Amino acid sequence: MTAAPIVVVLTAISAIASAGLAVAAHMMGAAMPLRSWILAGIAIDLVLLVATFERRAPLWGWIVSRGYARTPAVALTFDDGPAEPYTSQILDVLRAFDARATFFVLGARAVAQPATLRRAAAEGHEIGNHTWDHRALPLQGPRSIRATIRRTSDAIEQATGIRPRLFRAPFGWRNPWVSRAARMEGCEAIAWTVGVYDTDRPGVRAIVERSIAGLRDGAILLLHDGRSLDPNPDASQVVAALPDILREIQRRRLRLLTMSELLAEERVPA
């Protein structure tokens, strides 16, 4: 899904809101020039767009986009899997470095490849919820959003025996019901600090350099082991880049934590 239909709907809402305010002001005898109402509509539109598309915007509910651990640490996250052979290859690299990550998985993929998910959980990686099919959420209502989260959590629990406690919205796009729906399903909404746009396949070197540039204390890095429900995703560049990223994390003496570990540290006094 592209952002265009969402933009159209949000713009229509802001226009209606501005018109409603104008009518209410007129009925109360408050006269304002047309230009002021046009500017008000534009302002409302901008607020709605930022709240919906900016992953860190708090208007639609607080969301975690960075951690605050007791000592320098980062979290690696992988979205849109499990997708073979890439997820298993990523797990092989992580095991070689004795490193753990967090995988935000799609329910449809979890059902298709439960063995990979079981392996990830057994090796100490955290499994988060990324909806059933990566459909954008801003035009969905609360019942639909809860349904896709619950269905995915059910699939993850069936595969691993563990119900996820973390949720990440596809594209990071939200509406007023997303974070609340996630909480009602027992999940905390998670965004990210640094996205390296690896699904564009910019080259191994670019993925390494962008990741390393974002390695600051508390950073949550977004990588992918799949690409939405693309039947033939290619995460080979991520697999090739991962050893260099992990070596740099070690060189800087940053601890590599799962998301829940990162969250737990900022809630418990040192």
Threshold 0.85, pTM exceeds: yes
- Burial label for 267, CB within 10 Å (0-12, 13-18, 19+), is exposed
Across the range 10-39, mean pLDDT stands at: 62
CA distance 213 to 247: 14
What's the helix, strand, coil split of the chain in %, to 5? 50, 15, 35
Residue 270, pLDDT above cutoff 50: no
- Closest by CA to 181, choosing from 148, 133, 158, 228, is 148
pLDDT band at 1 (very low <50, low <70, confident <90, very high): low
Q: What is the secondary structure of 78-106 as a DSSP string? A: EEEE--TTHHHHHHHHHHHTT---EEEE-
H or E element that contains 250? helix 236-251
Active site residues: 79, 224
Q: Which residue has the tokens 């992990």?
A: 246
| For the chain, domain boundaries | 4-53, 73-267
Given a contact cutoff of 8 angstroms between Cβ atoms, the answer to whether 239 and 90 are in contact is yes
- Closest by CA to 196, choosing from 179, 180, 214, 181, is 214
H or E element that contains 138? none
What are the residues facing 57 on neighbouring strands? none
Q: Could you read off the pLDDT of 25-51 as tens digits, one per residue?
A: 556 666 555 565 567 667 877 888 899
Q: Could you read off the pLDDT of 97-135 as tens digits, one per residue?
A: 999 999 999 999 999 999 999 999 999 999 999 999 999
Q: In CATH, which of 3.40.50.300, 3.40.50.510, 3.40.50.450, 3.20.20.370 is domain 73-267?
A: 3.20.20.370
